[in-house]
Amino acid sequence: MEQFRNVGIIGRLGSAQVLDTIRRLKNFLIARQLHVILEDSIAEVLPGHGLQTSSRKLLGEICDLVIVVGGDGSLLGAARVLAQHKVPVLGINRGSLGFLTDIRPDELELKVGAVLDGEYLSETRFLLSAEVRRHNEAIGQGDALNDVVLHPGKSTRMIEFELYIDGQFVCSQKADGLIVATPTGSTAYALSAGGPIMHPKLDAIVIVPMYPHTLSSRPIVVDGNSELKVVVSKDLQIYPLVSCDGQNHFTCAPGDTITISKKPQKLSLIHPLDHNFYEACRTKLGWGSRLGVHD
């Protein structure tokens, strides 16, 4: 198993609970004689920490492990930067759902200690890359671990667009928008819009129309290596938005083309040994537990 010596800490700003957990984590890692590096923004709100600080990008280059303290949104933001550096990422949950950040604060020392001892599960999650082109010129680009969403922004009008998969025309559609999600993102916004839950190990992309004009329009699951092209109708009266993980946004004009495909660099995500995707679904999504008749 890999030995973690240089450990970076990223945290969500604006939360006293996150800062409390970061202080505990920092003290725990120092007690284990590890080299701890704080992300710049967190270091600013921890006066007197006495530790090395770094930009998020540089953390990916110099760390053997990066621990994110916050919710899934915090990990999504970190993942988009850290994936290209192949540094493993571990999440401590200070948010609500916690599909990606799966260590509870009260078990910090026990679970993080086990990971540092080499007792962990490691998996890769792929990201999507989205590019908006206008008159064959790139005007916007973004990455997403969860989803790329075409939506009307503040407008209440429907969007009309054409969908192509690997160069083949699929359909033209009127809808409130379109969600293109990874397996990681299948339990997020895509699920709310009626998409299927996909196991994280699947190499697949799900395309979920949002409130489509036709009742027969349904989500489509395609191969993870597919190239998707969404062409915004030239006759559209509004300027829709493209959002990556709900955090990065850029504006489209009528006639623009959005190309979405798998990003070559993957995120390395670490879990405690007792992590179980189906157990996470049960607890986070309120699925029924055992009836007590089976061992």
* Domain identity same for 133 and 250: yes
> Chain-wide mean pLDDT for the chain?
93
Return the percentage of the chain with pLDDT > 90, whole number.
Answer: 81
Instruction: Dump pLDDT digits (tens) for 204-245.
Output: 999 999 988 887 889 999 999 999 999 999 999 999 999 999
Active site residue 256: no
**Which pLDDT score, from 0 to 100, does residue 292 have?**
66
pLDDT at 15 over 50: yes
* Domain identity same for 108 and 132: no
* Domain identity same for 115 and 131: no
Split at pLDDT 50, 70, 90, the class of 1 is very low
Split at pLDDT 50, 70, 90, the class of 111 is very high
Please give the tally of structural domains in the chain.
2
**Which pLDDT score, from 0 to 100, does residue 295 have?**
46
* Domain identity same for 184 and 146: yes
Q: Characterize 122-142 residue by residue with b for buried, 16 or more Cβ atoms within 10 angstroms of its Cβ, and e for exposed.
A: eeebbbbbbbbbeeeeeebeb
| Residue 292 maps to a domain | no
| Mean pLDDT value across residues 176-203 | 96
Grouping H, G, I as helix, E, B as strand and the rest as coil, residue 222 is strand
pLDDT at 36 over 80: yes
* Domain identity same for 256 and 132: yes
* Domain identity same for 174 and 190: yes
pLDDT at 60 over 60: yes
* Domain identity same for 40 and 151: no
pLDDT at 188 over 60: yes
Q: Can you tell me the distance from the alpha carbon of 223 to that of 175, in angstroms, rounded to the nearest whole number?
A: 23
Domain with 109, as residue range(s), is: 6-119+273-285
pLDDT at 112 over 70: yes
**Which pLDDT score, from 0 to 100, does residue 293 have?**
52
* Domain identity same for 136 and 230: yes
Which residues fall within 8 angstroms of residue 162, CB to CB, at 6 or more apart?
A: 169, 171, 172, 173, 230, 231, 233
CATH label of the domain that carries residue 194: 2.60.200.30
| Residue 97 maps to a domain | yes
* Domain identity same for 112 and 14: yes
Quickly tell me which residue has 């075409």 as its tokens. 150
Q: Which helix (H) or strand (E) holds 272?
A: strand 257-272
pLDDT at 68 over 60: yes
* Domain identity same for 14 and 107: yes
CATH label of the domain that carries residue 33: 3.40.50.10330
Q: Can you tell me the distance from the alpha carbon of 143 to that of 165, in angstroms, rounded to the nearest whole number?
A: 19
Of 40, 64, 72, 223, which residue is the catalytic one?
A: 72
